[in-house]
Structure 1
Amino acid sequence: MVLSLVLLVLIGLPLAAGGVWLISLGGSWYYLLAGLGFLLTAALLPRSGTLARLLFAAVLVGTLAWAVTEAGLDWWPLGTRGGLVILAAVWLLTPWATREASGWGLGRIALGLAVLACVATAGLALTRDEHRTAGQLAPARTAQAAADPALSDDSVPPGEWHHYGRTLKGQRYSPLDQITPRNVDRLQVAWTYRTGDVMRPEDVTETTYQVTPLMVDGLLYLCTPHNLAIAVDAATGEERWRFNPMVGLEENRQHQTCRGVSYHADPELAGQSCAARIFLPTSDARLIALDAATGAVCTGFGENGAVDLWAHMPNQKAGFYYSTSPPVVARGLVIIGGAVNDNYAVQAPSGVIRAYDVDTGDLVWNWDSGNPDRTEPLPPGETYTPNSPNTWSVMSADPDLGMLYVPLGNRTPDQLGMGRSPAVERFSSSVTALDLETGQVRWVFQTVHHDLWDMDVPAQPLLLDLDMPGGRVPAIVAPTKQGDVYVLDRRTGEPILPVREVPAPGGTIPEDFSAPTQPVSALAFTPRPLQEADMWGVSLLDQLACRIKFRSLRYEGRYTPPSTQGTLVYPGNFGVFNWGSIAVDPVRQVMVGMPTHLAFTSQLIPADRIGPEQEVNTGEAGLNLNVGGPYGVIMQPFLSPLGLPCQQPPWGYVAGADLRTGGIAWMHRNGTIQDAAPVPVPIRIGVPGLGGPVITAGGVVFLSATIDNYLRTYDLTTGRQIWEHRLPAGGQATPMTYMVDGRQYVVQVAGGHGSIGTDTGDFVVAFALPR
């Protein structure tokens, strides 16, 4: 009986005390009542086991009623609400719980029936999926439609992959159809290559392997986190060449990664060295040109094969500026943006985009969003606008229309909007179309007004033509961190699917202001606003802590302004969509994405309250100083004391939608907690993902990206998972596919992600059907 008393008191006291705290914040009364129930049961137990069990049966029935009222028959929030109470009830049913003789008296019968009711409810919940949207995308269209040159992109041979998204349109779509839903389960590893570039103890936290390789003429081209460029045989995985730019390490970098290289071939130089080139961006702010055949430096490009991206850059400080994404190569230009460290300092480098001659490396034009009308190269001694919005992700292009499509971020500090110029206010967090020849602005579409939440447009926009009721329209599809997917006319930036302005919360710090409205797309994967009942934990105790935290934060829905109190940001900085973007099928005119629903918190800290002993600027999460600004900021995921998300799962999905109507056809939980839980059980709970999908004409979607180490395939039409393969490390990269000697291969890079904590490695794995 002593053990029973200890158990009841150890659970009851924190429930009752925390319950009082929660009530004082305007929260649920359940925890106080449950805590008192535990304590009263403990008080009755030495006197009457029957009364104690009867009382606890009432506690259990009350818990069941409360849990079903809040969570319905959704297993994960339902089970964690009842788990601790049921375990205590089962213990109280045992003969050892009291000093009374064994036997089934009234108290034990009542408690037993209450336990059975809970078990039956849990069993029913396990048979349901409350988060599944079941449906079908339109089946494959006719062969005539598939051959329509306006719908297919013949700028790249069908079996190759020349750009980050395969073509300049960024569709992540392959016309290959050898692999289908009927045979995909026969895929096997064709070869594995290891780069030798692994995470080092002295690396920054955000050291990640995010590359999508290219495939041209039988060679696979890739880069590594420390900016090695490598070519391997696409059929065997045998290394052909490697180049080390010797970038060194720099503790001020927020990111140590390389998402890809770029390719260009000049037919007029066929047979000469550097007739085909690989362009490598580096984390020490260089753009290097390499011979695609040998890996030798193309010395005629720039200064001995490289251009210095620090040229004309203000506020030069090592590690504060570099390029993590591959440049665009179009119309004889190689065009590159760059990443500026978020929230390290107010005086930051520029977010300028520059276009260089693809052969010589001469600067042709530069577009600085802080000074948007002046695009001619600057004379010696002049610098670009400090701290203008930057493009750290991947751009796309339409050479026929002569446009470059730029996903723009915010200026730093992200959470402090005072002092922004009219140009910054216009271009921040937007998709902007530039003239390929001159860099002049053709149109701009803003996805967040006066962004205070780090809601950069993080993903490459995708280009395709849509058959709308009024005729065929050249479209651009832009996924965003906040979950809106904007479908626009890429000639003008005008919406194809409706966009409306909705009221947004106000009440910023005194020095700032917030936009009264924000745009919302008709096609959106934005989660519904959080409520206290959405708080989650593996037990009542950590769930209670999350409820207290939720009630202590400022939260009035999406776009609640940053505050010194602390603000809940949902969707969070991780983004519903991030750099992995989405994939589109230009024939079916549908999309597949991997929405992530994960809350973050931000808190503004007055600069004079930040002590010299505090750890700062260790990455995007944690305390960042905003040197020169009135506030620093603490940003981090919204986590329980056990380090789990405070909001109930699912946290990650895979979804398919029709781009002509904006209708979401299917949406399913994606990924398991196998590699994140203390016990490696592959429970499909729906987990966050960083990376993107690929669609093939065979009707198969390939994706990895989740926090468990798997490559998965889904049926494009139904969204049903049809195959998975265990990877040797985290697959936080977008896969690609190609064909060599009549055999279709799928390649996934598996190297992990430092801040997510997935297993690190240096693997490039190719899959194919048996010969």
Structure 2
Amino acid sequence: MTRKNAIRAVALSIAGATVLVSAAMLMPRTRAVIDKMRDIGVRSAVTKGWNRVRRYGVTATFKGAIGAPVDAAPTGASTLQYSLFDLQQRPPVDDSAARHALPEYVEIPAVNLSSLPPSRPGNRRFDTWHRSGGDDMSTKYSSLNQITTQNVRFLQPAWSYSSGSDLGDSTKTGGTTVETNPIVVGNRMFLTGLDGDLLSLDAETGREIWRVVLPAPVARRGLIWEPNNSFASSRLFVPSSKGVFAINAATGTVQKTFGNNGVVGSGTSLIAPLIVKDRLVIATLAPALEAYDLTTGTLVWSRSLLQQPDGAAGSLAGGAPWGGMSADVDRHMAYVTTGNPRPALIGTNRPGKNNYTCSVVAVDTRTGAVRWAFQEVEHDLWDFDLTAAPVLTTITREGRPVDVVAVLTKRGNTLLLDRDRGQPIFGYRLKRAPVSKIPGERTAPYQPVFDLPEPFSRQVFTPDQITDLSVSARRTVEQKLRGAIYGFFEPPVIGGKIALYGVHGGAEWFGGAVDPTKAILYVPSNELPWVIRTQYTDIKATATTGADLPGHDVYNRMCAQCHGVSRRGSFEWEGAGDAYLPALSGITALRRREQLESQAYFREQHAGTTVSIVPTGPQLQTLYAYFSALDKRSDAQRSFALSAFWQLVLDERGNPGGKAPWGLLTALDLNTGKKIWQVPFGQLNGLRSNGTSVLGLQNMGGVAVTAGGLLFATGTTDNKVRAYAAADGRELWSYQLPAAGSTIPTVYSVNGTQYLVVVATGGVFRGFSGRSDRVIAFKLLSSRR
């Protein structure tokens, strides 16, 4: 047995022991834990435990296992405080008539440009890559121009580095990926490996110089180097699960004299910090921004990114800053995007707009005061958080320069706002939104429609956009989407599903790149169909619940194999597929008796599944009586909760269930708001029934743009890195990687030679193939420089 396999075996044993010991120590939950293992299988339970140990460590895994209260609702669930069967107890539903009495549209005017302060151009350098995302403004732009549209075809690998991670079966997806955009200082490169180590490489040769183990996740979405005339004394600031570490860039040692033994912040931080004058600004999942004295590490201020509604202190959660942030050093401003409110898809316990969630927030780095906030989606119920770092640039409008912040969204919008006040550069409309039928849920009356800048992806999924790869593919998807609700901001519905775009973009966490000399924004995006399902779940149900009731044996014999011994059902997450077996808890509150006792209805609901035996009429009657008795018992105990989740929609071969292209590259002129060009991103051969290729693939990598007129792009499921002409979107060069690029490419120069570096660790979602721990740098043939 190799040393790595021995370590893995020990860790797996610890993971399994963690599950069992947690159950033993937490006696009130022991049966629930065992039931869960029985539902998902021991092997699956141990694998999940191993993944948690690998990602969070034994201590955190153990604490998480024993820390939840006995009656805790599942993740994304909301415990009900009313009866499903006594309609008088239910909270009221939204007033549909009152909503429809509102005007269909409300116009929001553009900012009066003459009222804005003058532009502050500053002295910007774009020939370095000292922070993930390129620079403080997250432009992902390089002014290097040795590689051009004329010679890019002569790019070749310069070096390749492997971190030595245990990939297991490298032909399969799974585990984690590296999303850290490498930074380069002189001839040193800094990035992370698959195992979470912080690495320093020789940027010219790929030779490893040092590696440091920090609390995972390490620099998940980036890190920053502090400029210093003496590299030997310079520092990296590296996010982790235990705060942000100050690391000597030359040696990899922790600077113990800074902060608390070399660490500032007490919680998990995922995104690249900012250095603004004498402040180090970090983001934590609290959610909060915090500023520390750059010399001592002393806390200067802390600003929560949650704004609780009046009279509901503490009811709002979420809004985590996990996408990224940028700085305008001259304005002493930090701009950060925030996540969605929690629970993510159920808003009954978080009334109102849920301010500062799904928003870009501008914070004064001197005081921590919020200068302004702009929210794209109010009271989010669709996972439409803002996932990408704001991009700062300067546009020209009405003959004058205007400093702007551009935020790409999962809805396919580009929020283009002035930096000082957060006002829109182009006017937009608010469109009346549908009401919810869930008791106690209050949807926002309006949601935004942006005509300029032009949307870069489709925003409403409709039946005519179902896949046309083949007749069987279309039939499969139509079957999966039967009964789905389509439309503009249609809210989730209990016992049903809504079909939509946007859960993985539109834009995603890697955002876009801007050419600051032209104010052209380059955007990679996805167009994948999803469903959001909402159902009842009994949070106290176990394998023996209902054992005293007639019908228990019939259920276990005919239904439990699919729907689970606790009637919770199951579903696959987007890394595995789209299999779905509905929960049967609360089923008698959702369906009529004549439906549940009907063999025809049973066949209809099980169409497209592997179920071959239809219960007899008497068996269905017995099952109905069993479900009814269980539901009434759970209702009396108030153990019902609402549970909601999203799923990809796939055809029978695992391809996206919508029409291609599934991925796009778009060039947006921010001066006018108009698209310059848009092309499919990526290609897979032979997917269509007639043997032709599919153009435009799911992507999870990113782009970088250069003064050489090139756009480098990676992250597609065909495992390629490509170079496009920035002017018109023509593909000029590509290279087959060992796995998909998993983060933004980095452009840098060492000793007069320009390099492109790509991290190729693959993707975790369905559609990606293979895993790797490779980092590959490219340069021109010496004769072509």
Q: Same fold (TM over 0.5)?
A: yes
- 1:230 aligns with 199
Superposition TM-score, scaled by structure 2 size: 0.68
- 2:252 aligns with 295
- 1:648 aligns with 659
- Find 1:546's aligned residue among 459, 477, 502: 477
CA distance, structure 1, for counterparts of residue 282 and residue 569 of structure 2:
33
- Find 1:278's aligned residue among 236, 260, 273: 236
The structure-2 alpha-carbon separation of the partners of 1:566 and 1:421, relative to structure 1 and needing over 3 Å to count, comes to: closer
Q: Output one character per residue of 1:302-327: Cα deviation in whole Å (capped at 9) or x when no partner.
A: 332223523xxxxxxxxxxx333222
- 2:511 aligns with 581
CA distance, structure 2, for counterparts of residue 308 and residue 204 of structure 1:
33
Contact (CA 8 Å) 1:353, 1:368: kept in 2 or not?
yes
The structure-2 alpha-carbon separation of the partners of 1:219 and 1:264, relative to structure 1 and needing over 3 Å to count, comes to: same
The structure-2 alpha-carbon separation of the partners of 1:611 and 1:574, relative to structure 1 and needing over 3 Å to count, comes to: farther
CA distance, structure 2, for counterparts of residue 354 and residue 261 of structure 1:
16
Structure 1 residue 660: Cα displacement: 0.8
The structure-2 alpha-carbon separation of the partners of 1:259 and 1:678, relative to structure 1 and needing over 3 Å to count, comes to: farther
The structure-2 alpha-carbon separation of the partners of 1:263 and 1:385, relative to structure 1 and needing over 3 Å to count, comes to: farther
- SS at 1:185's partner residue? helix
Map 1:495-534 → 2, pairs under 5 A = 495-521=424-450, 522-523=452-453, 524-527=455-458, 529-534=460-465
- 1:337 aligns with 283
Structure 1 residue 508: Cα displacement: 3.8
Contact (CA 8 Å) 2:460, 2:500: kept in 1 or not?
yes
The yes-or-no answer on 1:261 pairing with 2:218 is no
The yes-or-no answer on 1:453 pairing with 2:382 is yes
- 1:181 aligns with 149
CA distance, structure 2, for counterparts of residue 196 and residue 153 of structure 1:
43
- 2:100 aligns with none
- Find 1:323's aligned residue among 269, 290, 299: 269
- 1:115 aligns with none
- 1:560 aligns with 490
The yes-or-no answer on 1:732 pairing with 2:742 is yes
The yes-or-no answer on 1:305 pairing with 2:262 is yes
- 1:597 aligns with 527
- 2:369 aligns with 440
Structure 1 residue 558: Cα displacement: 3.1
Q: Output one character per residue of 1:470-513: Cα deviation in whole Å (capped at 9) or x when no partner.
A: 51111111100100001111111011122221222323412201
Contact (CA 8 Å) 2:308, 2:314: kept in 1 or not?
no
Superposition TM-score, scaled by structure 1 size: 0.69
Q: Output one character per residue of 1:274-300: Cα deviation in whole Å (capped at 9) or x when no partner.
A: x31112222x33322110011011111
CA distance, structure 1, for counterparts of residue 279 and residue 522 of structure 2:
31
CA distance, structure 2, for counterparts of residue 611 and residue 668 of structure 1:
51
CA distance, structure 2, for counterparts of residue 695 and residue 507 of structure 1:
43
CA distance, structure 2, for counterparts of residue 760 and residue 151 of structure 1:
45
Contact (CA 8 Å) 2:470, 2:688: kept in 1 or not?
no
Map 1:600-679 → 2, pairs under 5 A = 600-608=530-538, 630-673=641-684
Structure 1 residue 598: Cα displacement: 0.8
- SS at 1:337's partner residue? strand
Report % sequence identity: 31
- Find 1:765's aligned residue among 751, 759, 776: 776
Q: Which AA in structure 1 matches 2:161?
A: Y
The yes-or-no answer on 1:197 pairing with 2:159 is no
Contact (CA 8 Å) 1:165, 1:172: kept in 2 or not?
yes
The structure-2 alpha-carbon separation of the partners of 1:684 and 1:749, relative to structure 1 and needing over 3 Å to count, comes to: same
Contact (CA 8 Å) 2:573, 2:647: kept in 1 or not?
no
Structure 1 residue 233: Cα displacement: 1.1
Bigger CA drift: 535-544 or 459-468?
535-544
Structure 1 residue 549: Cα displacement: 3.1
- Find 1:741's aligned residue among 740, 743, 751: 751
Q: Which AA in structure 2 matches 1:279?
A: F
Structure 1 residue 160: Cα displacement: 1.9
Contact (CA 8 Å) 1:197, 1:762: kept in 2 or not?
yes
Give the greater-gyration-radius structure (CA).
1
CA distance, structure 2, for counterparts of residue 513 and residue 568 of structure 1:
17
CA distance, structure 1, for counterparts of residue 204 and residue 297 of structure 2:
33
Q: Which AA in structure 2 matches 1:180?
A: T
The yes-or-no answer on 1:170 pairing with 2:138 is yes
- 2:211 aligns with 242
Q: Which AA in structure 1 matches 2:481?
A: F
Q: Which AA in structure 2 matches 1:571?
A: Y
Higher strand share: 2
CA distance, structure 2, for counterparts of residue 290 and residue 658 of structure 1:
39
CA distance, structure 2, for counterparts of residue 598 and residue 431 of structure 1:
25
CA distance, structure 2, for counterparts of residue 406 and residue 629 of structure 1:
37
Contact (CA 8 Å) 2:316, 2:342: kept in 1 or not?
no
RMSD: 3.2
Map 1:379-528 → 2, pairs under 5 A = 387-420=317-350, 425-521=354-450, 522-523=452-453, 524-527=455-458
- SS at 1:693's partner residue? strand
Map 1:716-731 → 2, pairs under 5 A = 716-731=726-741
- Find 1:357's aligned residue among 286, 293, 297: 293
CA distance, structure 2, for counterparts of residue 190 and residue 294 of structure 1:
25
The structure-2 alpha-carbon separation of the partners of 1:199 and 1:406, relative to structure 1 and needing over 3 Å to count, comes to: farther
The structure-2 alpha-carbon separation of the partners of 1:199 and 1:394, relative to structure 1 and needing over 3 Å to count, comes to: farther
Structure 1 residue 547: Cα displacement: 1.9
Structure 1 residue 572: Cα displacement: 2.8
The structure-2 alpha-carbon separation of the partners of 1:246 and 1:365, relative to structure 1 and needing over 3 Å to count, comes to: closer
CA distance, structure 2, for counterparts of residue 213 and residue 384 of structure 1:
38
Contact (CA 8 Å) 2:316, 2:354: kept in 1 or not?
no
Matched residue count: 575
- SS at 2:280's partner residue? strand
The structure-2 alpha-carbon separation of the partners of 1:233 and 1:433, relative to structure 1 and needing over 3 Å to count, comes to: same
- Find 2:718's aligned residue among 705, 708, 722: 708
Q: Which AA in structure 2 matches 1:539?
A: S
CA distance, structure 2, for counterparts of residue 443 and residue 628 of structure 1:
42
Structure 1 residue 388: Cα displacement: 4.1
Q: Output one character per residue of 1:104-129: Cα deviation in whole Å (capped at 9) or x when no partner.
A: xxxxxxxxxxxxxxxxxxxxxxxxxx
Bigger CA drift: 684-693 or 660-669?
684-693
Structure 1 residue 577: Cα displacement: 0.2
- 2:99 aligns with none
The structure-2 alpha-carbon separation of the partners of 1:758 and 1:354, relative to structure 1 and needing over 3 Å to count, comes to: farther
Structure 1 residue 527: Cα displacement: 0.8
- 2:59 aligns with none
The structure-2 alpha-carbon separation of the partners of 1:307 and 1:402, relative to structure 1 and needing over 3 Å to count, comes to: closer
- 1:85 aligns with none
Contact (CA 8 Å) 1:650, 1:686: kept in 2 or not?
yes
CA distance, structure 1, for counterparts of residue 251 and residue 521 of structure 2:
38
CA distance, structure 2, for counterparts of residue 650 and residue 759 of structure 1:
22
Map 1:86-105 → 2, pairs under 5 A = none
Contact (CA 8 Å) 1:732, 1:752: kept in 2 or not?
yes
Q: Which AA in structure 1 matches 2:303?
A: W
Contact (CA 8 Å) 2:394, 2:516: kept in 1 or not?
yes
CA distance, structure 1, for counterparts of residue 250 and residue 306 of structure 2:
40
CA distance, structure 2, for counterparts of residue 296 and residue 355 of structure 1:
23
- SS at 1:587's partner residue? coil
CA distance, structure 2, for counterparts of residue 479 and residue 637 of structure 1:
22
The structure-2 alpha-carbon separation of the partners of 1:685 and 1:526, relative to structure 1 and needing over 3 Å to count, comes to: closer
Contact (CA 8 Å) 1:409, 1:429: kept in 2 or not?
yes
Structure 1 unaligned residues grouped into runs of 5+: 1-148, 248-254, 311-321, 340-349, 374-382
CA distance, structure 2, for counterparts of residue 296 and residue 768 of structure 1:
31
CA distance, structure 2, for counterparts of residue 686 and residue 204 of structure 1:
21
Contact (CA 8 Å) 1:214, 1:221: kept in 2 or not?
yes
Q: Which AA in structure 2 matches 1:729?
A: A
CA distance, structure 1, for counterparts of residue 639 and residue 532 of structure 2:
19
- SS at 1:692's partner residue? strand
